Structure 1
């Protein structure tokens, strides 16, 4: 069995090694997207003991800067960071990073341009569009097989040999050192790596998601659709005043809480207030819906509502993001995922050297 697995491991490694290196290495760097974005998009501001500017003021300022922009909403990130305004334009979308106290534009970023976006696309589709996306999905699936077979191959047949498989012999000659770097580092990284790769497979294959969904969902859940009541007399209706009121009421009490508020675009749309988790964990995000005419909280069980009311599958779906990006453990979680991805990126290199030296 090990001889067969060795062949599978070898040929898969030779076939997908280069592509897997690109996926893993770009993913390791992109793990630090929040920190990188804070620096390159100039999101740091000096905290002040004054109230935040109104959402309507941010919108009015952006109409001057980007007249064709469709204002979607704004994310407040506490007193020490910018207010991030989301705007759609044909073919792309922008984030405007604005001073939350004055409403002044600090940085305007086309989110489909810039090296950070290139890094993201390199990880997701190798910069090859839909074809590249399919390549990444299948390479991810094959990488899962390669990693699992590597764990089996690592496991020594003799119990007394096991202790030698847990440490790297740094004083060894280069061939043996490279072998240890592949075997030992690969073994330690594989346990986290399997989870990271599995979450990639979850996103890549709809059939896989459907199997998970059918397994954890006993019956279909009937969700309500949050809607504003259009029967209310709204002769003096002003969405901007309503959004300002809701945002100011919340931020005056919790200025350091992350909060995103989105504008309605249709007569029946509600005003959506989203509370991202402090660690940006997707599965713990809360969404609240307010009637755009009355400002009242809309009650009901919604598909994208409170995280503690989410279905098992929706929770799993959110956890895949948190595991893959490392957000589940905050800073240290992302550090672990980053180091794991770097080791995973090194395995095709050390593995190729092992194969080539034997030849």
Structure 2
């Protein structure tokens, strides 16, 4: 009896959480499934912009490229620069505040072309903030927390009461009615995808809440490194932005060679982050440097060789969230799991709606009162 009461309570929690956040979960899962192969889609659709014919001459450097960018669009501010070191002929990409990407020839510094916001930018914004800015990020984050609770309560409800029911809980009855198939889609597919969806939810929460990072620190018994401020690099504060960025590039590539890509990102309070990614198999090998954008002064740095357990989790989190951690097979599995995740609110709503209609149609029981006859 207690077990039935417990499951009834779990079922109610599962139902109302699902009805409250179903649309948001659907949007997050669908956009996530579309973004899994973002790199491959961009490579396929923007090949003529992302690559030029490889040449024997060396990289021209950032100074010429940035000066050309400033001539083309003098009022624009650079928000990001990406240099791909390991791909011969890969163009240098500069992003502005409007999220337009400018592609430059790495050998001549000339502009190859530019691209405005595309549908993948919209997909990303929907996935991370529902296109509602900071408010959307908060809504999205808490919706992921609720989705995690739904996955856990769903597993509790799925767990068969008797071993004999295990087989029917793991298979879809294709010959059954439409209602039964919808029920099986929700329960069986939800069960198979649940572990991957829990990983997706937890890694997504890592981006949204600092508390998750604190929890990782407690579990790993290590502190997430903020960077070493003892390493100093001297730059001329009077140098213009193009010279400053180029000096940073030359200094870092000489001191820390072997990176496959290098990305400059302008952050809040004019802090600039430079990420250098090196070849890796599992956890991302990444050196990160933080500079004062206006003076070029190095504020702090994080080297992957100094990573502790908490740093390793942080370095692996993005690849785990996107499925890249397990290569192409991982991406395919993450795509399928995301699609199943998107289907759960839909099938769950249909099941609830069908049950609701059935209750309305059910005739009310007539109460027959016994007629007492007086015996004279």
Q: For this structure pair, what is the TM-score category when the shorter chain's length is used for normalisation? A: 0.7 to 0.9
Q: CA–CA distance in 2 between the matches of 1:153 and 1:263?
A: 46
Partner of 1:191: 195
Unpaired runs of 5+ residues, structure 1, are: 291-297
1:82 maps to which of 90, 97, 101: 90
Partner of 2:327: 330
Structure with larger Rg: 2
Partner of 1:97: 103
Partner of 2:71: 64
Alignment of 1:1-359 (within 5 A): 1-42=6-47, 43-45=49-51, 47-55=53-61, 56-70=63-77, 73-79=81-87, 82-88=90-96, 91-92=97-98, 94-110=100-116, 113-218=117-222, 223-225=227-229, 226-229=231-234, 258-260=260-262, 274-277=276-279, 283-287=284-288, 303-305=301-303, 307-359=304-356
**Change beyond 3 A, Cα 1:118–1:239:** closer
TM-score (norm 2): 0.75
Native 8 Å contact 1:54 1:244 kept in 2: no
Native 8 Å contact 1:76 1:260 kept in 2: yes
Partner of 1:293: none
Native 8 Å contact 2:222 2:310 kept in 1: no
SS in 1 for 2:83: strand
TM-score (norm 1): 0.78
How many pairs were matched up? 331
Compute the displacement of 1:52 (Å): 4.0
What whole-Å deviation, never above 9, does each CA across 1:170-210 have from its counterpart, x for those lacking one? 22221111111111110010011001001122222222322
Q: CA–CA distance in 1 between the matches of 2:250 and 2:213?
A: 40
SS in 1 for 2:106: coil
Compute the displacement of 1:77 (Å): 5.0
**Change beyond 3 A, Cα 1:241–1:219:** closer
Q: CA–CA distance in 1 between the matches of 2:91 and 2:289?
A: 20
Native 8 Å contact 1:6 1:153 kept in 2: yes
Unpaired runs of 5+ residues, structure 2, are: 1-5, 292-297, 357-376
Root-mean-square deviation over aligned CA pairs: 3.6
**Change beyond 3 A, Cα 1:203–1:245:** closer
Native 8 Å contact 1:20 1:143 kept in 2: yes
Q: CA–CA distance in 2 between the matches of 1:316 and 1:244?
A: 27
